[in-house]
Amino acid sequence: MERLSALGRGGRARRFEVPCTVEIERSAECLYAYAIPEGVELRPGDRVLVHGAPGHIGFGESTRFETRATVLRAGPLERAWTRFAAILELAELYHVGFEPEGAV
């Protein structure tokens, strides 16, 4: 595994390549794109860069293919910040989700 400097990312980060399955659908019923890195557990703050993914598929099409992805592991500071930000965002959802009808 290769080490690289990660200024602004809380110290040092690890970068490595893994196989990746990509599923994309664009239709009247669904619009989604999933990239599933294989053989690695993603943790808060980790980033995934998919190589060779198509930039566009036609309407009504669905595709699935195997490719490679680079996983950039988050350092301890970035991992802690991601967890903290997630808690704040969840609290915001609670606030918006339970407002009385007349409050809006």
**CB neighbours (10 Å) of residue 18?**
13
Write out the residue range of the structural domain in which residue 16 sits: 2-103
pLDDT, one tens digit per residue, over 14-70 is 999 999 999 999 999 999 999 999 999 999 999 999 998 888 899 999 999 999 999
pLDDT computed for residue 37 by the predictor: 93
Q: How many domains does the chain have?
A: 1
pLDDT beyond 90 at 98: no
Instruction: Please compute, for residue 69, the number of CA atoms within 13 A of its CA located in the half-sphere on the CB side.
Output: 23
Total-model pTM = 0.65
Phi and psi based region of residue 33 (left: phi greater than 0; alpha: psi -120 to 50; beta: remaining)? beta
pLDDT computed for residue 99 by the predictor: 62
Instruction: Give the helix, strand, coil percentages of the chain, each rounded to 5.
Output: 25, 45, 35
